[in-house]
Amino acid sequence: MSIRTMLVEDEWLIREALLRTVPWEQYGFEIAGQASNGKDALEMFIQLQPDVVITDIRMPGMDGLELIGCIREISPTVLICILSSHTDFGLARQGIRYGVFEYLDKLNLSSGEVEHCLERLYDTFHKKLSEQSGGTSLLAASQPEVRILELQSPSAWLKQFRLSARACAGWRWIIMLMDREIWGQTDIHAWLEEFPYPAVIAERRLFVDTEQRLHLILEDEIEAPHLLLERYEDTGILISSRVAGPNEWEKAYREAEELQADLFYTGWNHMVEYEHKRIYQMSVPVLQAQQEENLIALLAGANANAIMDCLDQLMQDAERRSVHPKRLVQALTMLLTRNIPGRYFHQEHIAAWGETISLAHSCTTARQFMERMSAALRTVMQDNERSVTIDVESAIRYVQQHYPEKITLGRLAGAVHLNPNYFSTLFKEQTGETPMSFVAGFRVEKAKELLRRKEGSIQEIAEQVGLHNLSHFSRVFKKMTGKTPSEYRGDL
């Protein structure tokens, strides 16, 4: 069900630009009516009863504020956005008493601002519907499409899928991957409610395969994969070349499938396109003789941090030489297993190491492989390692002192002079959470303090705690508190 929207703007050029350039349908909206002045708009509102009104302020006859006042008498809950200019901003502030949802500066309006506004409108509209229906979400209550996320194979899905014929620029097959542990904890209904392309759900153009990878068919030039990456963090997106129609979808699927090896080196939060597919050198040796000797020597010394540094260097060298990930993982796991000194393999370690080796061959990214290796080495060699509590404590102090700055895993590990993957293992072992989760949590706690003081705007607070992107700040804050920053401040 599209959100019916009424657009009110007296300048024909701006109205046409909004109608033609904003992807309304893509975000779940339809323009139910348009008007060039307040008087006509009020009559249209009474007739159409739209869900959302987007209106200018300065218009001949009845201006925008008067129109909003009349609309509020008819419908106290309809969502209203104001189009204003710099000279209108004083008037726009008066809209607060009418509960205006958003202000948009039409003189400096970017497509990103409009699209972000539509995303928030979409979420708010469906949240209200959910509350009115007793807490049942619209997607969960009225759309059986959530069932399409039952596990099935691509071949089975292709056989049963039917799409109504329509002219378009083409299609791309997308495979979205995420850590299986994260996917297992995901609420599918909530996940779908945040999905940026309702048409994909309505037309059943997505499914999950038996390996728990999400497959999507996106309309090229209309449904952009980068929005998926912005919305869903810690995912990898594999993109086929453009194909003409359903008769070529199997080819597109094969192309996307081939790209999973490329994601190993790029890691999560990346898109890999078939046009830029890596060419692997199958004849080059995976490891040089000197590299093997160095790693064997470090294994004999049982310095897990130095071993992880060496593995990092081997990974980087393999990427430069385009070694296929499967060959690399196989060679490294074999070398590690054969050369870890037998004195470290106590009875309780053998099973744990065997499980790690098994899981290593299913790793999607190099970082995932390194994290599992680091945890396994820590388990096997922990009796020989010095206490690292002081290192973790130093890292925590670094976060407390530098949280407004840019903090990466590499920078945090560098501050305590440890390999990033090994440091991550130690930090989680001692605190129960990953370093970057700790950083995000600390920043949110600082943001809560600033919100309680009610000093500064949400954007200013986001910048003060080191999260300069407002959308990202809001997502992180809501994920950890269950509320957006504005909702948290409003409840105080």
Are 318 and 328 a contacting pair, CB within 8 Å? Answer: yes
- Does the pLDDT value for residue 343 go beyond 90? no
366 with 475, same domain: the answer is no
Does some domain include residue 49? yes
352-406 tens-digit pLDDT: 677 777 777 778 889 888 888 888 887 777 644 444 467 888 888 898 889 999 8
Residue that terminates a domain, selected from 349, 384, 419? 384
Average pLDDT over residues 57-81: 85
pTM, entire model: 0.54
Q: Which of 60-74, 79-93, 468-482 has the lowest mean pLDDT?
A: 79-93
Average pLDDT over residues 186-201: 75
Based on DSSP, count helices (H) and strands (E) in the chain, helices before strands: 25, 10
Looking at residue 15, which CATH number applies to its domain?
3.40.50.2300
Helix 435-453 and helix 389-402, axial crossing angle in degrees, nearest 10:
40
Distance CA 487, CA 120 (A): 13
Per-residue confidence (pLDDT) for residue 473, from 0 to 100: 86
333 with 267, same domain: the answer is no
Looking at residue 237, which CATH number applies to its domain?
3.30.70
Looking at residue 447, which CATH number applies to its domain?
1.10.10.60
251 with 312, same domain: the answer is no
The total of structural domains in the chain comes to 4
- Does the pLDDT value for residue 176 go beyond 70? yes
Question: Given pLDDT bands bounded at 50, 70 and 90, which one contains residue 274?
Answer: very high
Are 249 and 241 a contacting pair, CB within 8 Å? Answer: no
138-156 tens-digit pLDDT: 333 333 344 446 566 787 7
Q: Identify the H or E element spanning 214.
A: strand 214-219
Are 228 and 172 a contacting pair, CB within 8 Å? Answer: no
Residue that terminates a domain, selected from 276, 307, 332? 276
Does some domain include residue 481? yes
Domain with 370, as residue range(s), is 289-384
442 with 377, same domain: the answer is no
111 with 180, same domain: the answer is no
Q: Which two tokens stand for residue 37?
A: 């002045």
HSE value, Cβ hemisphere, 13 Å, CA-based, for 5: 23
349 with 447, same domain: the answer is no
Per-residue confidence (pLDDT) for residue 97, from 0 to 100: 60
Look at 112 and 335; give whichever has higher pLDDT: 335
Question: What is the phi/psi pair of residue 177, to 5°?
Answer: -115, 145
Per-residue confidence (pLDDT) for residue 166, from 0 to 100: 67
Does some domain include residue 140? no
Per-residue confidence (pLDDT) for residue 455, from 0 to 100: 75
Amino acid letter, residue 372: R
Handedness of CA 269, 274, 276, 281 (dihedral sign): positive
Are 369 and 360 a contacting pair, CB within 8 Å? Answer: yes
Does some domain include residue 407? no
Distance CA 381, CA 258 (A): 37
Per-residue confidence (pLDDT) for residue 54, from 0 to 100: 93
Per-residue confidence (pLDDT) for residue 221, from 0 to 100: 83
310 with 247, same domain: the answer is no
Question: Given pLDDT bands bounded at 50, 70 and 90, which one contains residue 198?
Answer: confident
128 with 14, same domain: the answer is yes
Does some domain include residue 115? yes
Look at 33 and 299; give whichever has higher pLDDT: 33
Does some domain include residue 461? yes
- Which DSSP string do the residues of 43-56 spell out, in sequence order? HHHHHH--SEEEEE
21 with 115, same domain: the answer is yes
269 with 305, same domain: the answer is no
Does some domain include residue 97? yes
Per-residue confidence (pLDDT) for residue 112, from 0 to 100: 67
Residue that terminates a domain, selected from 207, 242, 276? 276
128 with 160, same domain: the answer is no
264 with 362, same domain: the answer is no
Does some domain include residue 326? yes
